[in-house]
Structure 1
């Protein structure tokens, strides 16, 4: 396994002056640990596996070596980057464009849910880098619009998530038609058996850079749990929002139906509420992400579609309305917060039913941290009367202020 001391500058990693100059211009001052470990290995042309938690700068760790290694005299696709979701693909595409500012590298985003015509035209214009989801990549291969016979770099970003949602056969099919002499970079938050099996089959003696044990959940996130019966979750959610007054919050649900139901209940009374899940059309999902990034959405009801990779800096709170199905999903959800600034603290609250104590324990063992019980002013107030009263609230609105504090949502519960 590769180990590396974090250098002081990107130049120390072996990046050329033209690349370092771009990084200086966009404000990248020092490499993160995953960048310090992966970039030198990738620049040597070796297959490599980078394991690190969400929000550690994994994208730049593979974008920069590719940007430096592309042969701009060739009019073929030289790099393919596969991502599990459309949103993450778009984010990687945007970051690639930013990190290669002025280098005249052409990227094409190929994802489902969008017209295929513009994507085909982009490929015909001699794109250097293709970024997209496995399904659309296969579609373009079948249409003979995408030729990977000369590809030099293949990246599997969030590989564990791609396998989780059933892309194994698609990935194997894509890799089987790539050039035999290509470099493979696999980025993943976890390296379970399916990921290991994929690596053994398609990678040649890969070097490993494992930072997964370094701060599994960042120290700037305050984490709490709250025990609650299933039928009392909604009034608890209201009380947590009133108490916390988040600048921006994501409420995670296990199912699309649950997220949509909560949205329909809250949006009638609360402005700046939106939802994002797999049943929404791509343009609707794009709109939600845009509103989040621009600070126009204050509360988002979501499934784990935004739990992986999506970088939104303004999230102050995460509320796990449903405890996640896996420990790693918890890590990814909670990793959405605590990024407002270097000295800001994110807060995460997880609702746990009395039957889910074992699931909470597994999460605590995974992150090596005991979650604190969330402090409620009146923990014994969850009687049937309060559940009924919440439904009768007539004044349930916010007024945005300059400092983004959560003002009065409703006047009285009686």
Structure 2
């Protein structure tokens, strides 16, 4: 798309807002789905973190909001408070240059419900953004009037299902007009989500953006084996080697995040902690400080991986490999944004090679690394032993027999003979291989010299 976002017929205030944040070219999901949403079609967008889906639905929605109508025109739900704040901030930034005020309400759990109801009794926002539980509470109490809303967005639908909010989303959808344009965005589409989709969506446009297109080529994926070393000390070294701009360390559990945060603080580092067990008010304060770059290091769980968008993350560290490998993509997607370089470091322990192989099937190419003398250096391929065993099987039948005999209980003299025979065979094979390589190089030089002579004759 040569002319970028201007091809979508967006109002001037939106184009000005996009210029302010240096958004010049739409992402693949934006390029495919913005025109579809503009045309009034319901959509299911399957895309990962970092694909630009938030602006995919915000731009066409805000392009058609009528500031003259003081009524709810759009409802957007998302399963985490952090993501609700993120979408709210993005929406406010987009309407910044609008001549007429477009009011955007943000309603999440853990905030003052009574105050929200009092405000809604005086004035209804045009755009509602919030978590399913709080939005449904406000509708149920008749404080929030959504019966005229024309558009409904369910963001992070799979996470909504996982966190048990689908029932509330169902009730919200049932409160909206039947002639509704519905937009569902999700990293994955579980079978258990299909019943809900079929209930409210008729012939939607389904667009899937492959995982491989989301892993930015500017991200280096490093793989470090912790072996006998404790993960805490390895992570401390990674955080203190060099000068990383902003580092996110992802843990699989809240308990592990608490443990690691406490350890790093005891080492003298200033660390922020974000997970579902942190009280809402404190989490909001911490998130504000993170965005203001008060912290250089952030320890978080996957709730944060799906719900937080922090600019300038230079490094991501996977303290543990997630059981759901989709989360690996979400974690890595926190860095390497907008063409910037980034490093994603995955720590693994003996016995986790199978998980690493599964990640590699997603298109991730790991660079083996190690920490030596306070520096991160290249390391060996973890599969080197497997390769060596495979080569062992290429021995001739006589040597295979000797190897098998070696495993039997035989006299010491026989063991020495077998071991010596194997060593001699290995030495002979190496000499033959070396000689063949020498002959190959010599033949290549002869060919090159002939080619030079022939070109000189012509």
Decide whether the 8 Å contact of 2:124 with 2:145 is kept in 1.
no
Work out whether 1:65 is the aligned partner of 2:99: no
Work out whether 1:370 is the aligned partner of 2:365: yes
Instruction: Measure, in 1, the Cα distance between the counterparts of 2:163 and 2:206.
Output: 24
- The aligned residue for residue 387 of structure 1 is none
- The aligned residue for residue 357 of structure 1 is 353
The verdict on how the C-alpha distance between 1:269 and 1:21 changes in structure 2, with shifts beyond 3 A counting, is closer
Work out whether 1:92 is the aligned partner of 2:87: yes
1:220-272 CA-to-partner distances (Å, cap 9, x unmatched) read: 11112222358721222223223354221111111111111111122133232
Q: Which moved more, 1:227-236 or 1:99-108?
A: 227-236
- The aligned residue for residue 343 of structure 2 is 347
Q: How does 1:11-410 map to 2 (within 5 A)?
A: 11-24=6-19, 27-101=22-96, 102=98, 103-124=100-121, 125-229=123-227, 232-339=230-337, 342=339, 344-366=340-362, 368-377=363-372
Gaps of 5+ in 2: 375-458
Decide whether the 8 Å contact of 1:312 with 1:336 is kept in 2.
yes
1:57-111 CA-to-partner distances (Å, cap 9, x unmatched) read: 2111111111122233333211000011101101101111111222411011000
The verdict on how the C-alpha distance between 1:373 and 1:49 changes in structure 2, with shifts beyond 3 A counting, is same
Shift of 1:21: 4.5
Decide whether the 8 Å contact of 2:158 with 2:187 is kept in 1.
yes
Instruction: Measure, in 1, the Cα distance between the counterparts of 2:17 and 2:313.
Output: 28
Larger Rg: 2
Decide whether the 8 Å contact of 2:221 with 2:364 is kept in 1.
no
Decide whether the 8 Å contact of 1:364 with 1:370 is kept in 2.
yes
- The aligned residue for residue 405 of structure 1 is none
Instruction: Measure, in 2, the Cα distance between the counterparts of 1:349 and 1:337.
Output: 11
1:320-359 CA-to-partner distances (Å, cap 9, x unmatched) read: 11211211100111111123x63x3211111212222222
Q: TM-score, normalised by structure 2?
A: 0.76
Instruction: Measure, in 1, the Cα distance between the counterparts of 2:228 and 2:327.
Output: 20
Structure richer in helix, relative to its length: 2
Decide whether the 8 Å contact of 1:318 with 1:349 is kept in 2.
yes
1:92-151 CA-to-partner distances (Å, cap 9, x unmatched) read: 011111112224110110000111133224433121111000111122122221222111
- The aligned residue for residue 394 of structure 2 is none
The verdict on how the C-alpha distance between 1:144 and 1:263 changes in structure 2, with shifts beyond 3 A counting, is same
Decide whether the 8 Å contact of 2:43 with 2:184 is kept in 1.
yes
Decide whether the 8 Å contact of 1:254 with 1:324 is kept in 2.
yes
Shift of 1:195: 3.6
Decide whether the 8 Å contact of 1:295 with 1:314 is kept in 2.
no
- The aligned residue for residue 384 of structure 2 is none
Shift of 1:19: 3.7
Decide whether the 8 Å contact of 2:225 with 2:370 is kept in 1.
no
1:297 aligns to what SS in structure 2? coil
Gaps of 5+ in 1: 1-5, 380-414
Instruction: Measure, in 1, the Cα distance between the counterparts of 2:323 and 2:196.
Output: 23
1:354 aligns to what SS in structure 2? coil
- The aligned residue for residue 454 of structure 2 is none
Q: TM-score, normalised by structure 1?
A: 0.84
* RMSD, aligned CA: 2.1
The verdict on how the C-alpha distance between 1:99 and 1:230 changes in structure 2, with shifts beyond 3 A counting, is farther
Decide whether the 8 Å contact of 1:349 with 1:374 is kept in 2.
no
Shift of 1:313: 0.9
Instruction: Measure, in 2, the Cα distance between the counterparts of 1:45 and 1:168.
Output: 24
Instruction: Measure, in 1, the Cα distance between the counterparts of 2:347 and 2:325.
Output: 14
Instruction: Measure, in 2, the Cα distance between the counterparts of 1:26 and 1:121.
Output: 35
- Aligned residue pairs total 371
Instruction: Measure, in 1, the Cα distance between the counterparts of 2:107 and 2:344.
Output: 34
The verdict on how the C-alpha distance between 1:357 and 1:378 changes in structure 2, with shifts beyond 3 A counting, is farther
1:170 aligns to what SS in structure 2? helix
Shift of 1:189: 2.0
Instruction: Measure, in 2, the Cα distance between the counterparts of 1:7 and 1:176.
Output: 41
Q: Which moved more, 1:27-36 or 1:92-101?
A: 27-36
